[in-house]
Structure 1
Amino acid sequence: MAEAPPRLEIRNITRQFGGRKVVDDVSLSVAPGEVTCLLGPSGCGKSTTLRIIAGVDMQNSGEIYIDGKLICDTQFRVPPERRSVGMMFQDFALFPHLSVAQNVAFGLTKSRRAERAARVHELLTRVGLAHYADEYPHALSGGEQQRVALARALAPRPGIMLMDEPFSGLDNRLRDDIRDETLAVLKEEGTAVLLVTHEPEEAMRMADQIVLMRDGKVVQRGAPYNMYNAPVDRAAAAFFSDLNVITSSVHNMMAATPFGEFMTPGLPDGSLVDIAIRPQHLKIEFDRNGHAPSATPQNGMPARGRVERARFMGDESLVEFRMEYDGSLLKATLPGVFLPKPDTPMWLLIRRDRCLVFPSTHSDSIAAS
C-alpha cells in the first residue's frame, strides 16, 4: 500500500528581492495533524515562506504541493482562495463591524444557513465562547479575540493552517493557556499546521517538528528534543538557550580546558573549538578552606570562581561567577532561591555529558589557558 503524501510539501523554494535571496532553497513537509514550526530571528525568511505557501507572494523557483498535487510552480498557480489554506496573524484581523458569530461565519458563504449556524456554534463551543456569539470584537479580551480568530480560520475546514506569530500580542500570563488550547483544537481537527515564530520556547511547546532558519536557509530540522540536545552549530545552540563558552585549541584530537579535556574527533591540531555549556548544567560546590572537590568522570575537574552577582528570577536563581583561571564570566542557574554574597569563592564543575563542542567561528569566545 502506497504511503499517503504529506498534506503540505514545498520543494526548493527560492524568493529574491533586489537580487538578494530572502528565501534560499527551502524544502519542508507537514503531515495531517502535525505542527511544524518555522523558527528563526526576524528577517530570516520565515514569513515570506508562509506568504508564498498562502499564495499572496510568488516564488522565483520551486514547487508547492498539497496532498500530492502541484498547486504552484513558476508557470502554474492555483489562486489563494482555492488552496484550502487557513491563515492566522498576530493582529487577529477580526472585522469590528461583525459580531463574533458573523466573524466565524465569514468564510462559509457557500454553506446553507442551517449548516453555517451549526458550524459556528460547534467552533465557538469548542473554544469556549458560545456565550459571546452576539458580542462584537471590541468587547472581548485579547485572548478571546485570538480564539475567535482561530474559530474563523477553522470554519471552512482547511487542510492546512498557516500561523504567523499568532500569540505575540497576548499577555505573557495568558499565552501558555491560549497556545495549549489552540494546539488541542488544531489536533482535533486533524489540520496540518505551519507556525512561524521567533520564540524557541513557543516552538518547543507546540511543535512536532522544528525547522530552524537563518539568512533564508534551513540550517537544521528535527523534533524539539533533538534540536535542543544536538544543535548543528554554536549559533543554533545559542538560539535555544544561554551558553557559557570556553574556547580551546585541538591537540591530538583533544581540547584542554580548566574543567578537563574534551574529545574533538576529526578536527586538525591547532584548530580552535568552542566548548559550550548551558547555565543549568553547571554544578556549584562551596569552597571549604580552599580544598577543591574531587574530579569525577562525569563532572571533570573543578575550577574556582567568585560570585559576581546573584539574582532571583522567580522559579530559579541566576548566579554569575568571575573565574580565577582567566577572569571570564560564567553563569549558572539553580532551582529555587540561591543568593550567595558577592565575592564568595565557590567551585564550579560542568556536566561533561551536557557539553557541546563546535568548531570555533566566533571572535568573542573565551580562550582557555
Structure 2
Amino acid sequence: MPTPPRLEVQDLARTFEGREVVAGVSLTVAPGQVTCLLGPSGCGKSTTLRIVAGVDRQSGGRVLVDGTCVSDDAMHLPPEQRGIGLMFQDFALFPHLSVGDNVAFGLDGGLRRHRERVAELLERVDLGGFIDAFPHQLSGGEQQRVALVRALAPRPAIMLMDEPFSGLDNRLRDDIRDRTLALLKEENTAVLLVTHEPDEAMRMADEIALMRAGRIVQRGAPYHVYNNPKDRAAAAFFSDINIVHGEVHGALTDTPFGQFLTPGMKDGTRVEIVIRPQHLRIDFDRQGRGPNPTASDGVAARGVVERARFMGRESLVEFRMDHDATILKATVPAVFLPKPGTPLWLTLRRDRCFVFPA
C-alpha cells in the first residue's frame, strides 16, 4: 500500500458572508517537499493556510495529516493536536524570555530539559552563542532564525509559513531563505509556504500552486509553471511581458515577426503572442540592412528607442514599434543605452513565445 502524503487537502472551500474566498483547493505535500501557494493579495492563499493550521474552519472539504483526517464536516482538531509548526511575518518572540527559552517554549519541560536540542538547533543557524541572549539584542535576520528553530524544535511533521521573509531587508532575504530551506530539508519537514513574490517561490519551492480568485489555476514544478503558463495572466505574474497581436488564418498567425503556428484555432480568431523582455532580441547583425524574410528566426520588425535604463545586471530598452506604435521592452545583458529615437531591428525567440486567444 503506497505511503500517504504528509499533508493532503481535498476540495477545500471557504465562504465569508456569501463570498467564496477558497473554492475547490486540492493539493498534497510529501515529507521533505516545499509547496508554495503563490498569488496576489486576496486570492485565498492565507485563508487556505489558516484552515490547514486549524485556526479557521472550512465550509467544505477535508484536511488530512499522514492519511488521517484532522478536519472535515463532522470534526475539527485544534491546531495543537495536528503536529503542525507555524511561522508568520511577525516573529512573535517573547521579549522577556531568552533566546533559548523562546526556542524551548513549546517543548515539555522547557529549556532545562531540552537544552541540548535547543543548542543544536541554534548552532545549525549560526546562533550557537546566543542561547542566553534576549531578542532585543538580535538583528532582524537573527530573530527570524530564532523563530524558525522555535517552530522546528518540537519536530513538527508539517511546517506552515505565511510570508515569513517579507519583513526582512532585501540584503538579508536570500541568505535567510537559503538557511531556512536547508534546515527544513534536513528535518525532512513537509512545508506549505504562502507568498505573493514569484522570485521567492521559484527559489524555495519544489512545487508551485498558482492561485487566483480562490482557486488553484496551475500547479507544477517551478520550471514548468514558468515556461508553460496556462494563460496570459499566469505568464504576467512571473515577469513583465510583451504582447504582439495577430489573427489566425489556416492554422497560422501572421505577425510583423513572421508566422506562428496556431493549430486548433479557428480562422479569424484574434490571438496574443506573449513574450518576456529577455526573449526579445536586438538583431545587431541586421542593423541598417532591413528585414530578411528568409532568416531562420523569422522576420525582424523595426522599432524606435523610447528610453533605455541600466538596471544593475542588465539594461532595459523600450521600443515604439513601426507597425502599430505599441511599446515593446527588451532586456540586454550589461550596459546598453541607445539614445531615444535610435531605430533598431528586433526578432523574437519563437521557442519562448506563448500564444493565447485574445
Instruction: Tell me the TM-score normalized by structure 2.
Output: 0.97
Sort the Cα spacing of 1:111 and 1:297 in 2 relative to 1 into closer, same or farther, 3 A: farther
Q: Work out the CA distance in 1 between the residues paired with 2:201 and 2:293.
A: 37
Q: SS in structure 1 opposite 2:290?
A: coil
- Which residue number corresponds to residue 211 of structure 2? 213
- Contact preservation (8 Å) 1:286, 1:345: no
Give the number of aligned pairs.
358
Q: 1:139 aligns with which of 119, 126, 137?
A: 137
How far does the alpha carbon of each residue in 1:96-147 deviate from its partner, in whole angstroms, 9 at most, with x for none?
1111111000000257833x11111011011111111111111111110100
Cα separation, partners in 2 of 1:111 and 1:148, compared to 1, 3 Å: closer
Kindly indicate whether residue 151 of structure 2 is the aligned counterpart of residue 156 of structure 1: no
The code of the aligned residue for 2:309 comes to: R
Matches within 5 A, 1:1-369: 2-110=1-109, 113-114=112-113, 116-286=114-284, 290-295=288-293, 298-360=296-358
Q: Distance in 1 between matches of 2:169 and 2:270?
A: 43
Please give the alpha-carbon distance, in whole angstroms, between the structure 1 residues aligned to 2:5 and 2:287: 63
- The answer on whether the counterparts of 1:38 and 1:213 sit within 8 Å (CA) in structure 2 is yes
SS in 2 for 1:128: coil
Q: Secondary structure at the match of 2:105?
A: helix
Distance in 2, Cα, partners of 1:288 & 1:296: 13
Identity rate, percent: 67
- CA gap of 1:228–1:297, structure 2 versus 1, over 3 A, is farther
> In the superposition, relative to structure 1, how do residues 30 and 266 fare at CA in structure 2: closer, same or farther (>3 Å)?
same
Q: What letter is aligned with 2:129? A: H
1:88–1:326 Cα change, 3 Å: same
Report if aligned partners of 2:61, 2:73 keep a CA contact under 8 Å in 1. Answer: yes
- Give 5+ residue unaligned stretches, structure 1: 361-369
Shift of 1:294: 3.0
Structure 2 letter corresponding to 1:217: R
**Residue identity in the other structure for 2:18:** G
Kindly indicate whether the alpha-carbon contact (under 8 Å) linking 1:42 and 1:198 is maintained by their aligned counterparts in 2. Answer: yes
Give, in whole Å, the separation in 1 of the partners of 2:183 and 2:355.
40
Instruction: Give the Cα–Cα distance (whole angstroms) in 2 for the partners of residues 35 and 298 of structure 1.
Output: 41
Cα 1:295/1:93, change in 2 over 3 Å: farther
Contact 2:105–2:111, Cα closer than 8 Å, also in 1: no
- The 8 Å contact of residues 287 and 346 in structure 1, kept in 2 or not, is answered as no
SS in structure 1 at match of 2:223? helix
Cα 1:289–1:215 change in 2 (3 A) is: closer
Between stretches 298-307 and 155-164, larger displacement belongs to 298-307
Give the drift of 1:356: 0.5
Deviations 1:230-259 (A, max 9, x none): 000000000011100012121111111100
Distance 1:340 1:90 in 2: 43
Per the normalisation by structure 1, the TM-score is: 0.95
